[in-house]
Amino acid sequence: MPAPVVIQNVLRTPSGWIVDIWNCRGVLKPQRFAGYGNMNDGILAFLEGLTGKEYEWFHCGYYVVPLQKEIIEAVKGAGLEEELSERLERVLNWIVYNCNGGAINWSGFYIVSVDELRAVEKTVTRIYRKVKIQNDEQYELLQYLFAEVIQ
């Protein structure tokens, strides 16, 4: 397990994920793919290899997040794409600005702690549940949306 990092007098355990900001665009991705805000297909292939699910890039304001394709399609189909985008942007802003003391116009790598990654997962899960409820379907929890790739 990575050594804890202390930022602003708060103990944070790195998740192995970062927000990679370059040229005013942030990309949430595993730390091993750090560099110039890239969002290549190798990252999606890596996630697909771990989870067995297909991934796509989801744009949310100044950020881009890899999400399971079935979730993106369900959210778009229910007309909740804008809500998910806004909520994810707020969470990612909190991670960059409040937890790391950074900004979207400061290029660099911003650590995402385990708790912060869970906040991203919880945001996606809440909207996905809303989709399932809207479709009058029984929903299942997304326990492993990002859990398999936390290292």
Per-residue pLDDT at 145: 52
* pLDDT tens track for 10-51: 678 999 999 999 999 999 999 999 987 788 899 999 999 999
Contact between residue 25 and residue 64 where contact means Cβ atoms under 8 Å apart: yes
* pLDDT tens track for 71-103: 999 999 999 999 999 999 999 999 999 999 999
Contact between residue 92 and residue 98 where contact means Cβ atoms under 8 Å apart: no
Side-chain half-sphere CA neighbours of 141 within 13 A: 4
* pLDDT tens track for 96-129: 999 999 999 999 999 999 999 999 999 999 999 8
Q: What are the tokens at 123? A: 């945001």
Burial 93-132 (b: 16+ CB within 10 A, else e): bebbeebbebebeebbbbbbbbebbbbbbebbbebbebbe
Q: Is 37 helix (H, G, I), strand (E, B) or coil?
A: coil
Per-residue pLDDT at 10: 62
> Using CA atoms, how far apart are residues 8 and 109, in angstroms rounded to an integer?
17
* pLDDT tens track for 136-151: 654 444 444 555 555 4
Which residue is listed with tokens 């969470």? 91
Q: Is 25 helix (H, G, I), strand (E, B) or coil?
A: strand
